[in-house]
Structure 1
Amino acid sequence: MYRSLFPRDLFAEMDRLTRDMQQAFELTPAIRGFARGGYPALNVGSTPTAVEIYAFAPGIDPAQVEVNLDRGVLTIAGERRATTPEGDAKTTLHVNERFTGRFRRVISLPDDIDANGVTADYRDGVLHVSVKRRESAQPRRIEVQ
């Protein structure tokens, strides 16, 4: 076993190890929720008339994104191409934190959605998918006689 040149704090190491274990097993929620690390990041919410999904995917060509709805399961899939210069022998990439490659996110939707009422719009790096609820599932006020 080797010795470090810098003294280490045993409690700091235990704290780091605990954080790493929690992240690996996702025992605690993070700011992005339990599904950390998914791309693109999602916000999913609902209103009385629709389910709203926002996928944050800047730099994606909208033609490369597929949105499918099958039996109450919404799938967002696509590909983000690399934008780094490749093939140039003079260029050295030191850090590359931007996700590139194929992605796929799957969202289970409630039973009261209308499969014919789905719209998808991509603007300013945000994909907004709106899934309408069936008219029969809409809340309505019943007048008392």
Structure 2
Amino acid sequence: MLYRSFFPRDLYADMDRLQREMQQALDLSPNIRGLARGFPALNIGGTAKSVEIYAFAPGIDPASLEVQIEKGVLTVAGERKDDEMAEKAAVHINERYAGRFRRVVALPDDVDANACEAQYRDGVLHISIPRSESAQPRRIAIH
């Protein structure tokens, strides 16, 4: 049975937790989310008309987020402030990410970076980048 102590009393439980965390950090096996891991978690998809990116970043002030596109690369950066709990009590488990973060996504060549839109609502940053008019599917009339 896997054992995890909430208080640092059991050396074996701490070593087991450390081993699992190191394995997760070094594990680069492909999964459904791809090879990259980080904060914020990203969902990236596309339609015929746009590329849609969702960054799941709850508890972040939207003013501290930076979204930038340069040379076909989208960068999402910001900072999540640390909880005040550490000042009030001894912390035994802290699984919430705090600190500066940066995620970088290479964009396809057919997007119109000048028409990019970003919205932050309920902890989710939604970035929509339309594809250029020349890349839009169109019906060709047959004569």
TM-score, normalised via structure 1 length: 0.78
Equivalent position SS for 1:83: coil
Q: How does 1:10-89 map to 2 (within 5 A)?
A: 20=23, 24-26=26-28, 28-36=29-37, 38-88=38-88
The offset of 1:117, in angstroms, is 0.9
Alpha-carbon spacing, 1:83–1:117, altered in 2? closer, same or farther (3 Å)? same
The offset of 1:29, in angstroms, is 1.8
**Matches of 1:113 and 1:58 in 2, distance apart?**
27
Which structure 1 residue ranges, 4+ long, deviate > 3 Å from structure 2?
A: none
Equivalent position SS for 1:143: coil
> Unmatched 5+ residue regions in structure 1?
1-15
Structure in which a larger fraction of residues adopt helix: 2
Radius of gyration: which is bigger?
A: 1
Letter in 1 for 2:26: A
Alpha-carbon spacing, 1:111–1:31, altered in 2? closer, same or farther (3 Å)? closer
**Matches of 1:58 and 1:30 in 2, distance apart?**
24
* Correspondence for 2:125 among 110, 119, 127: 127
Name the counterpart of 2:90.
Answer: 92
- Cα RMSD, aligned residues only: 2.1
The offset of 1:25, in angstroms, is 4.8
State the identity as a percent: 59
Name the counterpart of 1:4.
Answer: none
TM-score, normalised via structure 2 length: 0.79
After superposition, give the CA deviation of every residue in 1:95-124 in whole Å (9 maximum; x if it has no partner): 001000000000000111112110000011
The offset of 1:23, in angstroms, is 6.0
The offset of 1:32, in angstroms, is 3.0
After superposition, give the CA deviation of every residue in 1:67-111 in whole Å (9 maximum; x if it has no partner): 0011110000000001233444xx111100100000000000011
